[in-house]
């Protein structure tokens, strides 16, 4: 049957109209924020284009509250445009709470995409194993968490230590070495950062150390103190052996003669130790005092904490550096002196 020409024209017209509507709809959707902004722009204060700003989206905030906050920060020109874009896209309940690094004078749709993604701003800081509170203080100051003076004052604040239930004269030993991820709000509050570190210490201690320590009859402070000595002396795979040396010496009431204790709080850790340092009398100098020092000299990691309560089953009493990243262990003074004479020729110090 022959199709009338008029019908063909009408069919093409309908198809053309549908294509036009589709293209127009896509254009409208893609450019909706700009179109709306043209008609609905507010009198919000002018800001320098594309400045970085940090915006905190509170948990449970309504879309209206989010829009108002974005407009106040200059991220969008109109909170109404932002809200309408979210409604039209059906994403009015998709915004995730958190801290975001945004730019002023941004397109509402781009901002909405980021707030939906949940890619919040995160700050990270790594505290290496064996850092003492003085090194942590320098690290915090360099990373903008707190001044050295502020942190050290907090580290010895009696009321703060009581709040954290730390039985010691400072935070030393209880700041677990790890990488911490912080929001801008957390980064700006050194107490929050410290509490995170102490909480991490307790989780490791309770899981791997506490039960055995209680069997020894040792307090957390005693365990952490011994752990800090192990941390500063042991090379890789030696933690249990170094722990055994200290345990054996404590059992025989021998001085621990741990070199790093000699300069704790006096010289930077790692500084050269002199004869006058060894002879200096102070509570931490284990060449002068018998038993453990009054507190930790560093913040030990998990391996040192575990080694403190799980020493190797050996009778070693001495060790000396072999100048190759390991130690030579001995059970007698004669044997130890033989190794000291050998390795001291290579300008390597002996300890204990």
pLDDT of residue 294: 97
pLDDT of residue 72: 95
Angle value at C-alpha 305, between 299 and 309, nearest 5 degrees: 145
pLDDT of residue 185: 83
pLDDT of residue 183: 84
pLDDT of residue 269: 86
pLDDT of residue 17: 46
Domains of the chain: 48-117 (3.30.1490.480), 123-206 (no CATH), 217-344 (no CATH)
Q: Which two tokens stand for residue 107?
A: 């397109």
Read off φ and ψ for residue 122, nearest 5 degrees.
Answer: -130, 135
Q: What is the pLDDT of residues 97-107, one digit of tens each?
A: 988 889 999 99
pLDDT of residue 34: 52
Beta carbons of 54 and 187 less than 8 angstroms apart:
no
Exposure b/e, 310-348, CB count within 10 A at least 16 = b = ebbeeebbbbbbeeeeebbbbeeeeebeebbeebeeeee
All residue ranges of the chain with pLDDT < 50 are 3, 5-6, 8-29, 37-47, 348-349
Q: Which two tokens stand for residue 29?
A: 């959707």
pLDDT of residue 47: 46
Q: What is the pTM of this model?
A: 0.74
Q: What is the pLDDT of residues 113-122, one digit of tens each?
A: 999 998 888 8
């Amino acid at each position: 049957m022959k199709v009338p020409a008029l019908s063909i024209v009408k069919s093409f017209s309908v198809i053309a109209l549908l294509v036009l509507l589709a293209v127009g709809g896509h254009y409208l959707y893609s450019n909706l924020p700009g179109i709306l902004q043209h008609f609905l722009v507010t009198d919000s204060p002018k800001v320098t284009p594309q400045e970085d700003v940090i915006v905190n989206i509170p948990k449970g905030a309504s879309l209206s509250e989010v829009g108002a906050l974005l407009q106040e920060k200059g991220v969008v020109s109109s909170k109404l445009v932002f809200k309408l874009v979210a409604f039209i896209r059906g994403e009015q309940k998709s915004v995730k709470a958190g801290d975001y690094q945004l730019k002023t004078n941004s397109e509402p749709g781009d901002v909405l995409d980021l707030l939906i993604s949940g890619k919040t701003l995160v700050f990270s800081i790594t505290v290496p194993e064996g850092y003492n509170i003085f090194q942590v203080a320098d690290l915090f100051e360099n990373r903008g968490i707190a001044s050295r003076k502020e942190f050290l004052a907090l580290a010895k604040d009696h009321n703060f230590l009581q709040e954290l239930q730390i039985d010691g004269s400072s935070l030393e030993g209880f700041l677990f070495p790890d990488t911490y991820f912080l929001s801008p709000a957390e980064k700006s509050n050194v107490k929050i950062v410290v509490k995170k570190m102490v909480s991490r210490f307790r989780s490791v201690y309770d899981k791997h150390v506490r039960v055995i320590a209680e069997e020894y009859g040792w307090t957390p402070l005693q365990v952490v103190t011994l752990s800090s000595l192990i941390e500063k002396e042991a090379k890789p795979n030696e933690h249990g052996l170094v722990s055994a040396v200290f345990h054996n010496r404590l059992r025989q009431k021998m001085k621990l003669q741990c070199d790093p204790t000699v300069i704790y709080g006096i010289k930077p850790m790692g500084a050269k130790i002199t004869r006058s340092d060894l002879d200096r009398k102070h509570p931490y100098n284990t060449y002068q005092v018998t038993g453990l020092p009054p507190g930790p000299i560093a913040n030990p990691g998990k391996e040192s904490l575990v080694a403190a309560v799980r020493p190797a089953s050996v009778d070693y009493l001495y060790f000396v550096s072999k100048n190759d990243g390991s130690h030579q262990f001995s059970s007698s003074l004669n044997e130890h002196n033989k190794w000291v004479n050998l390795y001291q020729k290579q300008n390597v110090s002996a300890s204990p």
